[in-house]
Structure 1
């Protein structure tokens, strides 16, 4: 997908509202910049799959949310409930790792780097953290990687619709 950029950052967030306001000032009306809790991201592939599923859901009229950014959050968290998705992938105040997902955007890396410290290493998931966040059992992860389990759960949001 040419119109998708994924960046990792480290951030110290004083106010989630202020950060979201600054992000809205950066982007154009039809552009999407969705910030996710990178600690709940297994890999770039995880995000790419979630974004593709979100876009496909809108194209099929099967979207859960009315906003593509929120649909990305839902799909990447493998959740149907927005409140659960925000608990998993939402922003919080304090130090946190961020995954910035840019869809149909200009390259706003300079603007984002003025707000946060660029570090793509935060996009490499910590299996033990991910197992806890997504309630993945040891028996589940015996035969599949944690990343594959999460991607499978994202895919099953469609099947289980």
Structure 2
């Protein structure tokens, strides 16, 4: 891969999740249609600061695997760790994991064929408005002080947290 971002797609959706386990099995079936190495990671879009935040965390996850400094054995889970700036998988999933009910979903796809987008459009409703951050929610979720927020945009604060996680490892 010449440019690490060439094979990354970040898409926004909304959906009513009736059964998280069934939804994840449907995603696994979609991945099984293709070759090994494809990643489709669904995350709670409410826990992200925007597309740049997700892209930065995704790049950090891929680089962690390349360096052998990954914290998870699965790249999709590593994405959650990096994007959420958490060291523990359980905490990362608490921040970014799916839940039942109506939710905004960010989908990160790595090395997936273009037709996967059509398949996801059949499963969920496309909505890139999910990338607009809920600033007050994010400040509470990530323990961001008003003082921090005065000097930086929320997305930049979260990118900084993602980068700091990498530096600390």
How does the TM-score come out when normalised to structure 2?
0.93
Which secondary structure does the structure 2 equivalent of 1:139 belong to? Answer: helix
Q: Where does structure 2 lack aligned partners over 5 or more consecutive residues? A: none
Is 1:48 matched up with 2:55? yes
1:134 counterpart residue number: 142
Is 1:149 matched up with 2:157? yes
2:85 counterpart residue number: 78
1:4 counterpart residue number: 8
2:19 counterpart residue number: 15
Pick the aligned partner of 1:116 from 124, 139, 143.
124
- Distance in 2 (CA, whole Å) between partners of 1:2 and 1:67 is 20
- Distance in 2 (CA, whole Å) between partners of 1:158 and 1:97 is 27
Runs of 4+ in 1 over 4 A off after TM superposition: none
- Distance in 2 (CA, whole Å) between partners of 1:148 and 1:44 is 11
Over the aligned positions, Cα root-mean-square deviation in angstroms equals 0.8
Which secondary structure does the structure 1 equivalent of 2:42 belong to? Answer: strand
- Tell me how many residue pairs correspond in the alignment: 161
Deviations 1:73-103 (A, max 9, x none): 1000010100100010000001000000000
